Amino acid sequence: QQQVKQSPQSLIVQKGGISIINCAYENTAFDYFPWYQQFPGKGPALLIAIRPDVSEKKEGRFTISFNKSAKQFSLHIMDSQPGDSATYFCAASRYSGAGSYQLTFGKGTKLSVIP
Amino acid sequence: DTAVSQTPKYLVTQMGNDKSIKCEQNLGHDTMYWYKQDSKKFLKIMFSYNNKELIINETVPNRFSPKSPDKAHLNLHINSLELGDSAVYFCASSPTSQGAGNTEAFFGQGTRLTVV
């Protein structure tokens, strides 16, 4: 049972274009929705995150849009650059007790930005 | 100044062997995790420890045993390695917060385990 569904699996965007990655979740216990960026040979690194009481969060060229009623959220990368080429993971977090949070990841989107 | 460091970065071993992966964090976090990333890049939590106490233990074969000697270290020991254990294993840590607090997880560089 996949609790966080992510699409598309891969994405090719021209430099300067907009990259859009979508995610949907099922468990209403999730209360934190981060996006992670992973370069080859590296660990995932937090890019931007949102809480369900906010519908949009913007940090530089990266924006998360969140639709609580539809249980969907998306990442928009404006003015995409070749350096943005990486694998992007959406995730959903819920408190597991004793100070521990469980991240459930989507399956990832491999983004390639071509010059 | 590495925040979450794992050793080794690469590990090639034969089926049936026992191996360990070490993880250390210098962020002062109370909670540490092990995640597994398979060949299709799917990331799945395996274990979570808070201040040396096991909190999350997902459906993982009992050949996998985490050990936390102190809150800055979480090691992963794997017995009787199988071909299907080949994957990248990531250690992570996060600050402790009750309820809806800061839940950013910081990941290490990963250990690529290849079982031959």
DSSP readout, A6-38? Answer: EE-SEEEEETTS-EEEEEEE--TT--BEEEEEE
CA-nearest residue to B38 within chain A is A107
What part of B 2-31 touches A (C-beta under 8 Å)?
A: 4, 30-31
Contact yes or no for B27/B4 (Cβ under 8 A):
yes
Q: Which of A34, A43, A102 sits opposite B104 (nearest CB)?
A: A34
Q: Chain A closest CA to B50's CA: distance in Å? A: 6
Which pairing describes strands B111-115 and B10-13: parallel, antiparallel, or unpaired? parallel
B65, β-bridge pairs:
B77
Give residue limits of the domains in chain A: 4-114
| CATH T-level assignment (fold) for domain A4-114 | Immunoglobulin-like (2.60.40)
**CA distances (Å), B1 to each of A67, A78, B30, B32, B95, in order?**
38, 32, 19, 18, 18
- Residue by residue, pLDDT tens for chain B (116 residues) are 679 999 999 999 999 999 999 999 999 988 899 999 999 999 999 988 887 788 777 778 999 999 999 989 999 999 999 999 999 999 999 886 554 455 688 999 999 999 99
Residue B66: domain span:
4-97+104-115
A33-48 pLDDT per residue, tens? 999 999 999 999 999 9
- Domain total in chain B: 1
Query: Which CATH number belongs to the domain containing residue B41 in this structure?
Result: 2.60.40.10
